Structure 1
């Protein structure tokens, strides 16, 4: 199964590279419902994700975003494991724009064989002019489901549906400050039905941050980070920190990044054992996004 995942990831990478050779000069953002219409502020981020985290961007109605998140092993594993390249984990997902302000998505991760799903709704859209709105506000709610055969073997409890499930909700408050710089804050609440340590809370409260700085027309630096307020004091896990570069190739967004988080959904990167940047416990990875317009776009949207 691992070989199959690796082959799928490599195939997606090859398709992306070949697509670059024939890409026309039209941005993926045209498929994200981000045309310059009215006084709406657009193109704050290049895609609906920063790296791990959701961004304030939305898909257009009828747009399907096929997304592969791929992360290798820790770079401090040394030359024997090719600095982590011999090991990998990934998430494959499909997001669909039901309306310009409502997106639904599903995904599956190799880590814990976890399924996840979410709903994303834009409450406010940053705009200028006589009816100016200073920020965009996007609400996200989702769940994850652990697919391992014996996820709680150490606890000796029955792994029923409810115990396998975790939930999260968050509000993304973001602003595009200039053509080059955008930022967002993401207050987040996460609930796990089962935790492995009885002294640990089932609920986690965290504050996320996403940044984007555009160097040139099609390349931008992106950062996402989450600070967990009530992490268990003896938990050696570090807060998830990811840094990368978005490359818009016309129809694709190809991202190269480094992260101390192995997991690629909210439950995973907030609660799993993240490594230390200072000790080299970070992974190199890439994200691929390809958007297909399945329905004719509404010009008025």
Structure 2
């Protein structure tokens, strides 16, 4: 009986050791999942500005942005609704990490194009990455003819360049935050006192309040503002609603423009004095047709 008990103990120990060795082998051979964090923000915009998010490869997005006049204009202007500024844009995911876009704004009849590339993706595996980072670059062409015909600016003088690094972290399913250092460069300025290059830093966030709704906020501080106009820092608060393929944002902001070179460096209204513009962003994403890999 004692011999049988000894054999049973030895068999149990050996079996456990073999099972552990087998488990170690399976773990070493299994593919390493990277566990990338998804949906740090629900759309490609926080409110006025971009988020770190990109559209996936082959996805095309149509974006309509609208800003009305100041709500403190009173009933004669229907609290700003008689005035409006609109931007249309078509944006596409070239790869999962590269996105391009073209847009046209009614403000100053401006055309803009951009490239957006994701550098780092937040992930939570063993070799975790605590943040996501995306770089954004755009060029804007101001086509409005508000100049003296005898002093017509050249094509290059009408161009403004913008670059931004977006760094974000999703702290929980309910909270995401983003920081955005940026630089704007104008080929032509109004006065000699105006800087050609303007540095700024922005902050944004998203707080989820239900399955399909979130509160967003965004603020940009300009380090060396323009001197020819009395500028203010851009502030926006908004409600985000997801409905299927649509992301709809209702916005209150002191900025009436919707491209970075304008709302970051050219805003002149004071949010806390009632210079608030009601607006919205709405986007619709379209998935490209997938090729059928099966051959008859």
Classify the TM-score, shorter chain: 0.7 to 0.9
SS at match of 2:60: strand
Preserved CA contact (<8 Å) 1:102 1:120? yes
Encode CA deviations 1:193-220: one digit per residue, 9 max, x unaligned: 1111211101000001110000011000
Gaps of 5+ in 1: 1-36
Counterparts in 2 of 1:201-280, with a 5 A limit?
A: 201-232=195-226, 235-280=229-274
Distance in 2 (CA, whole Å) between partners of 1:255 and 1:64 is 19
Gaps of 5+ in 2: 1-32, 292-296
- Measure how far apart 1:90 and its partner are: 0.7
The corresponding residue for 1:291 is: 285
CA distance in 1, matches of 2:231, 2:118: 32
TM-superposed CA distance for 1:38, in Å, is: 4.6
Q: TM-score, normalised by structure 1?
A: 0.83
In the TM superposition, residue 239 of structure 1 has moved relative to its aligned partner by 0.5
Give yes or no for the alignment of 1:121 onto 2:124: no
Which of the two has higher C-alpha Rg? 2
Q: Residues 209 and 296 from structure 1, CA distance in 2 versus in 1: closer, same or farther, beyond 3 angstroms?
A: farther
Provide the C-alpha distance between the structure 2 equivalents of 1:204 and 1:52, rounded to a whole number of angstroms.
18
TM-score (norm 2): 0.84
Q: Give 1:131's aligned residue.
A: 127
- The correspondence of residues 1-301 of structure 1 with structure 2, limited to 5 A, is 38-150=34-146, 152-153=147-148, 157-232=151-226, 235-296=229-290
Q: How far apart are residue 126 of structure 1 and its match? A: 0.4
CA distance in 1, matches of 2:83, 2:101: 27
- Preserved contact between residue 63 and residue 295 of structure 1 (Cα < 8 Å): no
Q: Report the number of matched residues.
A: 259
Moved over 6 A (4+): none
Root-mean-square deviation (CA), in Å?
A: 1.6
Which fold has the larger relative contact order, with Cα–Cα distance below 8 Å and residues 6 or more apart in sequence?
A: 1
